[in-house]
Amino acid sequence: MTFSDWIEELRDMMRRRFWLIVRLALLGCLATLLFAMSQTHQYTSQAVLQVEDAKVANELAPPTVSGADARQLQIVEQRVMSHDAILDVAASVGVLDELAGLPDSEKVSVLRHSLSVSGVAAARTGTSGDGAISLVRVTATWGDRESAQALAEEVTRRTVDLSRNKRLERAEETLSFFTLRQSKLEAQVADMEESLANFRRQNDMPEGGLRASQEREIEALRAEILSVERQMIVLQRQLERDAGNGNLTRLEERERAEDVARLNDLTEQRDYLTESLNTVSAASEVDPALQAQLTRLTRELTTMQEELASVSESRKAAEIGFQLESEGQSEHLSVLEPASWPDYPSTPSRTKMAVMGAFASLMAALGIAFLLDLMNPVVRSAAVMERDLGFAPVAVIPEAPRSRGRTLLMRAFRGRRRAF
């Protein structure tokens, strides 16, 4: 079949199915028109929030609350879109009266469908995203311009307030936690110091400084005893050499007597120093079991003091973070673009909808007519028969045109004949 044959067949089909196509197209246009007239205009207002960086560098004052990310935005959105909160938003704006005939569950569903809070991811700082956001879009859609803008403004205000209050609440809870922890550790350290002092006092165990003094005293006594013994050895050797000489002069005898007296003095001095050394050593000796217990208590006290120092630093950082949050110096949301005034409806135009529906109805009517011809294939001309079957017809009986009035008369006549 050539293109001209196909066009001829289409024209023939349209002539035969003309009134069917017209009826279907009119029905479709009517349905489209009714549907377009039933649609109400919707207006959309949008506000944009931005995440402002902290005014104080993180290196100088590290925040105790992490920056804005998708998870925190989701928590804020859940609070804004909660059942009671969203009804409160609608009541404060004045659109709740428009939904007076609906139950609360359907009111909440309509409002959640009309409102949205979405974030825009910030630029990535590494190979993978960290969930940080840079912008927050608040969108409200309603049947009139004023209500749409009012809803967007109210949701924007509540989003900013909830975000700020949430960060302030977390900073306050962090400060309270470290303050309470520091108080408990200070009490525990004081109790441990008192227990350690009582243990030393009950077991006659001096402090670390006193024990070090005793050790230094022992070392000094040992050094002094060693010096005295060296002097005694020198005198003893001198006396032995003098004893080897049989004949001594008076001077030598007098010197020998002096050496003997000096040796006796050194002996007494050594005995005194040895006794002092024994006394100090006995005082410094500790039972191994008591020493082990003392070491354990000292280690526990050191651990508590280190933990207390760490908690004190964390509490100072938490206090600075809370001060930054209270004064609005940390990272926070601010309004970049207030809720816009919707100049035009966001829904499709009724005229455009009707035109598109009319065109779709005409295409559907043509398609139905074409399908009916396909379901009932009939050879309607000699050209079709010759093209489809391969041979020409013997005779062709032309269709005689009939007037509409004659047709009506013939139908009436046939009806009367059947009645007789």
Q: What is the pLDDT of residue 191?
A: 93
Return the structure tokens found at 34: 């009714």
Question: In sequence order, what are the residues at sequence separation of 6 or more whose Cβ sits closer than 8 angstroms to the Cβ of residue 284?
Answer: 211, 214, 215, 218
Q: What is the mean pLDDT of residues 265-283?
A: 81
Residue 333, H or E segment: strand 332-337
Q: Are 239 and 259 in contact (CB under 8 A)?
A: yes
Q: What is the pLDDT of residue 346?
A: 73
pLDDT at 334 over 60: yes
Give the separation between CA 11 and CA 414, rounded to whole angstroms.
Answer: 34
pLDDT at 181 over 90: yes
What does the pLDDT look like over 298-309, one tens digit per residue? 899 899 999 999
Q: 127 vs 85, 123, 124, 186, CA distance in Å?
A: 39, 11, 7, 45
Most confident of 9-13, 19-23, 349-353: 19-23
Least confident of 10-19, 303-312, 405-414: 405-414
User: CA 416 from chain center: how many Å?
Assistant: 89
Residue 47: which pLDDT band, with cuts at 50, 70 and 90?
A: very high
Q: Which of 373, 374, 393 is nearest to 382 (CA)?
A: 393
DSSP string, 77-140: HHHHTSHHHHHHHHHHHT-GGGGTTS-HHHHHHHHHHHEEEEEEEPPPSSSS---BEEEEEEEE
Between residues 218 and 335, the one the model is more confident about: 335
Q: What is the pLDDT of residue 285?
A: 60
Q: What is the pLDDT of residue 128?
A: 47
Return the structure tokens found at 207: 């402090």
Q: What is the pLDDT of residue 186?
A: 93
Q: For the chain, what percent of residues have pLDDT higher than 70?
A: 75
What does the pLDDT look like over 103-145, one tens digit per residue? 888 999 999 999 998 888 776 665 445 567 788 899 999 888 8
Q: What is the pLDDT of residue 409?
A: 47
Between residues 368 and 393, the one the model is more confident about: 368
Give the separation between CA 267 and CA 225, rounded to whole angstroms.
Answer: 10
Q: Which of 188, 166, 182, 147 is nearest to 77 (CA)?
A: 166
Return the structure tokens found at 313: 């630093």
DSSP 8-state code for residue 336: E
Q: Which of 93, 84, 111 is nearest to 149 (CA)?
A: 93
Residue 58: which pLDDT band, with cuts at 50, 70 and 90?
A: low
Give the separation between CA 227 and CA 270, rounded to whole angstroms.
Answer: 9
Q: Which of 25, 43, 134, 12 is nearest to 341 (CA)?
A: 43
The helix/strand/coil state of 277 is helix
DSSP 8-state code for residue 60: T
Q: What is the pLDDT of residue 24?
A: 87
Return the structure tokens found at 325: 């949050």
Q: For the chain, what percent of residues have pLDDT higher than 90?
A: 12
What does the pLDDT look like over 65-74, one tens digit per residue? 555 567 888 8
pLDDT at 273 over 50: yes
Q: What is the mean pLDDT of residues 38-56?
A: 81
Strand-pair category, 133-142 with 43-52: antiparallel
Between residues 61 and 251, the one the model is more confident about: 251
> Across all residues in the chain, what is the average pLDDT?
78
The helix/strand/coil state of 12 is helix
Q: What is the mean pLDDT of residues 20-39?
A: 83
Residue 209: which pLDDT band, with cuts at 50, 70 and 90?
A: very low
Q: What is the mean pLDDT of residues 155-175?
A: 89
Q: What is the mean pLDDT of residues 188-207?
A: 81
Give the separation between CA 101 and CA 156, rounded to whole angstroms.
Answer: 27
Q: Are 35 and 354 in contact (CB under 8 A)?
A: no
Most confident of 154-158, 293-297, 399-403: 154-158
pLDDT at 310 over 70: yes
Gyration radius of the chain's alpha carbons? 54
pLDDT at 62 over 60: no
Q: 254 vs 193, 251, 257, 259, CA distance in Å?
A: 65, 5, 5, 9
What does the pLDDT look like over 383-397, one tens digit per residue? 666 666 656 665 556
Q: What is the mean pLDDT of residues 57-80?
A: 69
Q: Are 112 and 130 in contact (CB under 8 A)?
A: no
Return the structure tokens found at 57: 């560098």
Torsion of CA 194, 196, 197, 203, to 10 degrees: 140
DSSP 8-state code for residue 395: -
Residue 53: which pLDDT band, with cuts at 50, 70 and 90?
A: confident
- CA-based torsion, 20, 21, 24, 25: positive or negative: negative
Q: What is the mean pLDDT of residues 362-388?
A: 72
**Sheet with strand 115-121: strands edge to edge:** 115-121, 133-142, 43-52, 332-337
